[in-house]
Structure 1
Amino acid sequence: MFSGILIEKNETSSLAKIADLDESQLPAGDVTVRVTYSTLNYKDALAITGRGPVVRKFPMVPGIDLVGTVEDSSNPDFKVGDNVLLNGWGVGEAHWGGLAQKARVNGDWLIPMPRGFSAQQAMAIGTAGYTAMLSVLALERNGVTPDKGEVLVTGANGGVGSFAIALLAGLGYTVVASTGRLEEADYLKRLGVSEIIDRSILSGPGRPLAKERWAGAIDSVGSHTLANVCASTRYGGTVAACGLAQGMDLPASVAPFILRGVTLAGIDSVMRPRRDRIAAWDRLARDLDLSILKEITREIGLGEVVQTANHLLAGEVRGRVVVDVNR
C-alpha cells in the first residue's frame, strides 16, 4: 500500500482526497517508479478543485511532474535503481501522475535525472522551469537577442513567469514583468526585472496594432493579454505562448503578423520529444542560477495539496510548489 491524492467523480462533481492505494490499482506501464517529489502546477490545481476539464478519466492521481527511483522495469532504457524525471505526457490527466508515492508509466516518457540537480531541485524547476526554458529557446531561435530590446514576461509571479524572468535576466536580457500583484515587486526585482507593469494594461480589449515596444515576450496568460502583447511587439519580434491563465481564446487580428512580421511561437511542453526535453534540461543546468530556487520555491507535504490548490487558483501562491510525497 502507498499514499496518494485520488480524484473521484460522482454524478455532480469530483472530489480530491488523500487515499491509501494498492499497487494493483496502478495503470499499465513498463516502468514503476518510487516517487520522491512531485509538484503542484496550475493544471494540477484545476484538476484537484474540479474547476477545469483537465482530468479525462476517473479515478485519477494528479501530478504532471515527478522524480524518483526505478523500482521495476521492462523498458530497455531504464533499470532498477535509475533516477528518473517525468514532465507532462498526459500524466495527471489521462494516466495516473506524480502526486503519490508510486507511479507506473511508459518508459518512453521518462528521461534520466538531469545532471547537476538534486531531486528536490529538479521538481522546484519542474514543468514550469522546463516550459520557461523552451520559451527562451524559441526566442533565441527566432533571433531575439539581448541587444534587440525589452522582453516582456506576463503572469510574472507564477512558476513559468518566475523562471522566465530569472533565465532571461541571467542571459543579459532587459526584462519587463506584467503582474496583477504589484505588492510582489521586490520579489520580481530580485529575480532580475527592470520594470513592472500592471496586468490591467494588457488584460482588456485592445487595438489591432499598438505602439511597438517588445523585442520578444513570454506569455502564460493568453486571451486579451496575448493579443495585446502581439499588437505591441516590434517588427520581427517573437512571442512565445505557453499558457492560458486568462483564457484560451485569442481575440486578435492578423495585423501584427502580416504588417510587422511578428512570430507567434506555440510552446508545447506536454508531448515534446525526448531530445528536446534533454536539451532544455541541459540548458537549465547551464543557465539557471540555482540559488534562486529558495526564492521561488515552497515545499509542502501530501496533506497540504488540496488546500494549496485552492490558494493557487485564487492567485495567492507565488512561484513554485514542490510536494514531498513521503510526508
Structure 2
Amino acid sequence: MSQFKALLVSAEGEAFVSRVVERDTAELPAGDVLIRVQYSSLNYKDALSASGNRGVTRNYPHTPGIDAAGVVAESAVGEFAVGDEVIVTGYDLGMNTSGGYGQYIRVPASWVIKRPAGLSLRESMLLGTAGLTAALCIDKLEQAGLTPAAGQVLVTGATGGVGSIAVALLTRLGYSVAASTGKAEQGEFLRQLGAQQIVPRSDLQDGADKAMLKERWGGAVDTVGGDILFNVVKSLRYGASVACCGLTAGIGFKASVMPFILRGVNLLGVDSVELPLVVKASMWDKLSVQWKLGNLDSLAEEVTLEQLPKAIEQILAGKLVGRVLVNLG
C-alpha cells in the first residue's frame, strides 16, 4: 500500500467540491497494472466529471482524468514490467474508474500501451486524448480521400485542445487551414500554429435555415457540433468530408439530405474512447514519428493538482485556449 495525492470530487449538498487529498493505493479498483502517474491533461469531459455531470460519472467521490502517462509500479501480466513507461487514454479511465488526476491508477492491461520511442511521457500528455482525437479525425479524412490539393480545410473550435492540435497537425502535413473561433483575440495564437485564415464563429452560424450553402471547404474537422456542424456539411466542396468529434455547441442540428445527394459529401464520426487498443497504438506511433509536432509547448499551460480546479472553471466557461498539462510530480 502507498499513499498518494489525488484530486477528489465530492458531492456536498447540491454542489460538487474538488480537493487535493491523500489516498491509498488499496482504495483503487482491481486491475492488472498499477501505474505511477507523472502527467495527465485537461479535457472537456474531465471538467464535466469534476462538476458532477452524472452522464459522465455516476458515483462520487471520484477522481477524474481520462488521460495518464507514467511508469508501471506493479504488473500482474507479462506484457508489462515494473519500470515500463506507458500511456492510458479513454475507456473508463476518469469516468467511473479512478483517473489520471491521482498519482496512481490501477487499470486493466487492455487499456495500456507502451510509450512510443519518439515521444516522452510529457509530450504524450501535451497531446493527450485531444491530440489522439485530432489525429484520428485527420486520418479518417485522408482515408475518405482528403489531400492538400482538395482545398482549404476548416477547423472549428480551433482554440480548444482538439482544434489547436488539428490546426498544427494539418499545417505539418501541408494543408491550407482555416481556423474558426469565437475568440477573435486569439488570431495570432492560431496563426502561429499555422492557420492561414481566421473565420469568426458567427460566419458559421448563419444559414441554419437553408438547405445548401456556398461550397467553401475541401474538408473539415468539427469539434463543436450543433448547427455549426451542419452548416459546415452544407458548405463542403463536392465529394468532401467533415470529421465530427465534439458537442460544445450542442448535440442536435437542423439537417436535410440535400448536401449528401447533390454534393456527395460525407459526415464522419470519430471516437477515441472505445477504439480498439491496436488502433490507438498505431495512431500514437504516427504521432511520435511521421506526424510528430515540434511546437507542443507553445500549445500548453502546465499546472499542478492544486492549480487544476481553476483551469477546470476556465474550460467550463469557454475561456481556455490550447492544452493544459497536469504535472503530478
Q: TM-score, normalised by structure 2?
A: 0.96
Stretch deviating more after TM superposition (92-101 or 250-259): 250-259
Secondary structure class of the residue paired with 2:295: helix
Select the residue among 83, 99, 102 that pairs with 1:100.
Answer: 102
Corresponding residue of 1:181: 183
Q: Does 1:220 align with 2:223?
A: yes
Corresponding residue of 1:162: 164
Q: Is contact 2:225–2:251 with CA below 8 Å preserved after alignment? A: yes
Alpha-carbon distance in 1 for matches of 2:300, 2:309 = 18
Counterparts in 2 of 1:168-317, with a 5 A limit?
168-203=170-205, 205-317=208-320
User: CA-to-partner distance for each residue in 1:184-243, whole Å, 9 max, x for gaps?
Assistant: 111111111110110112235342211111111000000111010111111111110011
Corresponding residue of 1:8: 10
Secondary structure class of the residue paired with 1:233: coil
Secondary structure class of the residue paired with 1:24: helix
Alpha-carbon distance in 1 for matches of 2:209, 2:187 = 25
Aligned residue identity for 2:179: A
Corresponding residue of 1:120: 122
Aligned residue identity for 1:53: G
Q: Is contact 1:301–1:325 with CA below 8 Å preserved after alignment? A: yes
Q: Is contact 1:166–1:288 with CA below 8 Å preserved after alignment? A: no
Q: Is contact 2:209–2:254 with CA below 8 Å preserved after alignment? A: no
Alpha-carbon distance in 2 for matches of 1:51, 1:61 = 13
Q: Is contact 1:3–1:19 with CA below 8 Å preserved after alignment? A: yes
Q: Is contact 1:167–1:287 with CA below 8 Å preserved after alignment? A: no
User: CA-to-partner distance for each residue in 1:230-286, whole Å, 9 max, x for gaps?
Assistant: 111111111100111111113222222222111111100001111111121122122
Aligned length: 326
Structure-2 change in CA distance of 1:233 and 1:293 (3 Å): same
User: CA-to-partner distance for each residue in 1:17-37, whole Å, 9 max, x for gaps?
Assistant: 111111111011111001101
Q: Does 1:67 align with 2:75?
A: no
Alpha-carbon distance in 2 for matches of 1:309, 1:183 = 21
Alpha-carbon distance in 2 for matches of 1:36, 1:44 = 17
Alpha-carbon distance in 2 for matches of 1:25, 1:35 = 16
Stretch deviating more after TM superposition (203-212 or 114-123): 203-212
Provide structure 2 residue ranges, at least 5 long, that are not aligned to the other structure: none
Aligned residue identity for 1:103: I
Alpha-carbon distance in 1 for matches of 2:205, 2:90 = 28
User: CA-to-partner distance for each residue in 1:152-205, whole Å, 9 max, x for gaps?
Assistant: 000000111111111111111111010011111111111111101101122353
Q: Is contact 1:206–1:224 with CA below 8 Å preserved after alignment? A: no
Alpha-carbon distance in 2 for matches of 1:155, 1:42 = 12
Q: How far 1:11 sits from its partner (Å)?
A: 5.0
Q: Is contact 1:4–1:99 with CA below 8 Å preserved after alignment? A: yes
Q: Is contact 1:67–1:119 with CA below 8 Å preserved after alignment? A: yes
Alpha-carbon distance in 2 for matches of 1:135, 1:307 = 29
Corresponding residue of 2:140: 138
Aligned residue identity for 1:212: E
Counterparts in 2 of 1:25-36, with a 5 A limit?
25-36=27-38
Aligned residue identity for 2:134: A
Q: Is contact 2:286–2:292 with CA below 8 Å preserved after alignment? A: no
Q: How far 1:10 sits from its partner (Å)?
A: 4.4
Q: How far 1:51 sits from its partner (Å)?
A: 5.6
Q: How far 1:139 sits from its partner (Å)?
A: 0.7
Q: Is contact 2:118–2:289 with CA below 8 Å preserved after alignment? A: no
Structure-2 change in CA distance of 1:211 and 1:196 (3 Å): same
Corresponding residue of 1:39: 41
Alpha-carbon distance in 2 for matches of 1:315, 1:143 = 33
Q: Is contact 1:206–1:228 with CA below 8 Å preserved after alignment? A: no
User: CA-to-partner distance for each residue in 1:276-302, whole Å, 9 max, x for gaps?
Assistant: 111211221224453311210110000
